[in-house]
Each structure stands twice: as structure tokens, then as C-alpha cells.
Amino acid sequence: EKRSNVFYCICRSCNVLVPVCRKMPPREDDQLTTATRLLQQRREVAEVEQTLATRKEDFQMRLERLQQRREELGQKEEMLKEALLKFDKFLKENDSKQSRAVRKARAERNMARQKDREIKQLSQEIAALQAWRERLEGKVKENAIYWAYLVSATDKSEKFQEIRELIGRFDTMLSTREQLLQRESEGQGRLEEEKQRLRRFVKERSDLILQHNNQLATLQTQLDQARALALKWESKWNHIQATAAKKTLLLGQIKVVILNLFQMVNKHTQQDSDVSIEDPEGQLDRIQLFTQDLSDILSELNLPA
């Protein structure tokens, strides 16, 4: 049976409740405020005092019953002795009755010794309860300053009439603070996720722009090379026209160069052409068309030609 956090068991020999141990309250220092613990300690002291008073009264009653029992046992022993003296001869003839009487007396003496042990155990438990009460009173004295502060705050407050109302309000605010901190933590987590997504997007776009810039640089280089080559061969063509003596020789060289350039254009565009290798003018048209396409691409990209 459990009464006020004290566990009891039933003694089969005397049919009474015997305290076994007191269940200590669970540790709640991390969850309760100092004022809450102070109130709890005061309640525990009151419970211990009530339990101690009850135990003392019960103990006194047991002592009285035990003393009465001892007196009865003494009287019975005297009567038994007188009966043994008076009926010694009769008892010798009735050994079985005598044995039962002896066993009964032995059982009563054993019961008396059991009562003595119970008294000793009760005394030890009372001493332990008194020590516990002293410890609780010490804690109450240590926390008296907090209690006085709460009393003063309640007296000065128009909103709170009792200390438990003030403590309840504090617990509510503490719970609200925890909820706000939790929400802030969740918001910070979502914000960090969005920042990471933004960083990934910026990096992807930067890589794409860099790739396009590299492509533009490559095209610009190819265009410059084509223009330089065109200017070179245009100069040679003008020189061929101005130098009639070398026209036939240079014409063959020009055809070879035009053919090489034409093949370069076909290789770059990766397209088959129906222009014959014996048609230098058609090849030049093809090269000019390629150059014009490059110029148009650069114009669309806002790059200088």
C-alpha cells in the first residue's frame, strides 16, 4: 500500500502495516524554478510532519498493546507455573497436553521477540524521517530569500494576488519563449536552405556565362584568323593582278590556298558542299559566306567585328 509516497507491507504475524521505505520524489531541478521547488519542499515537510505524527501515535499505541501483551504473557506464565506445580502429576500423565502448552509458551515468547524487533525497526525509521525532515527544513531556510522575494513581488503587484499565479505566469512566459526559440531555429534553417539554393543558382549561371565567353573568344579568334587570311590573300590577289608576268604561277598557288581554306571551312561547318575542287570562285563564295556568318554572329553578341 502507498500512502504519501511511503510504502507499507502487512506483517502476517501481527496483522499490522509496517513501513518499508519512502519513495524519494523525482529530481526536477532542471524543469522547476527555485520558487516551485521551494513550494514543493514546503509541501514535503508538511507531509513528513503529518506522517511522523501519525507514525508516533501508531508507535505509541503499539507500545501500549505490546506492554499489555507482555503483562498478559507474564500472568499466563505465572498461571502456567502454578498450574505446573499443582498439576505436575497430572501433566506427567498427559505428555501431549504438556507439549502443546510448552509450544504455545515458546510461540508467545517468539512473538514477543518479534515485537521487540518491530519496535527497533520503527525507531530506526522514525530517526530516518526526522533526519529527512531536518534536511528539508535546511533547504527551506536556504531558499527563504526566494520565497520572501515572491511574497514581496506579489504584494506590490496589482495583477497577481497569489504566488502560484505569479509562478504560473512565469512558466507560461518560459514556455512561450521556448516556442519562439523553436520557431526562430526553424526559420533560420529555412533561410540557410534558401541561401544555399541561391549560391548554387549563381554558380550555375556563372559557369554558363564563362562557357559562353569561352565560346565567343574561340569564335573571335577564328574570325580574326579568317580575316587576316582573307586580307593576306586579297593582297596577293591584287599583287597578281598588278603583276601580269607572275599571274599564271600565282594563280595556281592561289587555287591551292583557296582550296585549303575552303576545306577548312567545310571541316569547321561539318557540312558537305557541292562546289567542285576545280571551281576556285565557288570556293571563295563559300568562304565569303562563312565569313559573313561569323560577322553576323558577332554582331548579335554585341562584340566588335
What digits encode the pLDDT tens for the residues 129-151?
888 888 887 877 777 777 777 77
- The percentage of the chain sitting over the pLDDT mark of 90, rounded to a whole number, equals 0
Q: Which amino acid is at 232?
A: K
CB 126 within 8 A of CB 49: no
Q: Is the pLDDT of residue 66 over 70?
A: yes
Amino acid identity of residue 81, one-letter, is: K
Maximum Cα–Cα distance across the chain: 179
Q: Cα–Cα distance between 283 and 221 in angstroms, integer?
A: 22
Nearest to residue 284, comparing CAs of 251, 247, 239, 246?
A: 251
Amino acid at 20: V
Strand (E) or helix (H) holding 21: strand 16-22
Which letter, b or e, does each residue of 66-99 get, where b requires 16 or more Cβ atoms within 10 Å of its Cβ? beeeeeebeeeeeeeeeeeeeeeeebeeeeeebe
**Residue 64 Cα distances to 67, 119, 252, angstroms:** 5, 12, 145
* % pLDDT > 70, the chain: 79
Residue 34, number of CB atoms within 10 A of its CB: 15
Q: Which of 11-25, 33-47, 92-106, 229-243 has the lowest mean pLDDT?
A: 11-25
pLDDT in tens, 223-270: 888 888 888 888 887 776 666 556 677 678 888 888 888 888 888 777
Q: Which long-range contacts (CB under 8 A, 24 or more apart) does 150-155 make?
A: 150/35
The DSSP letter of residue 304 is -
CA 75, chain centre distance (Å): 73
Mean pLDDT of the chain: 77
Parallel, antiparallel, or unpaired: how do β-strands 16-22 and 6-11 relate? antiparallel
Give a three-class secondary structure readout of 84-118. Answer: HHHCHHHHHHCHHHHHHHHHHHHHHHHHHHHHHHH
**Model confidence at 35: pLDDT above 70:** yes
Residue whose entry in the numeric block shows the C-alpha cell 530516518: 128
At residue 296, the pLDDT reads 81
Cell numbers at 5, concatenated: 509516497
Cell of 6: 511511503
pLDDT of residue 96: 67
Per-residue pLDDT at 207 exceeds 60: yes
Output DSSP code: residue 10.
E
d(Cα 303, Cα 305) in Å, to the nearest integer? 6
The residue with greater pLDDT, 93 or 41, is 41
Cα–Cα dist 36/249, whole Å: 113
Say what the pLDDT of residue 13 is: 44
Please provide residue 75's backbone torsions phi and psi, each rounded to the nearest 5 degrees: -65, -40
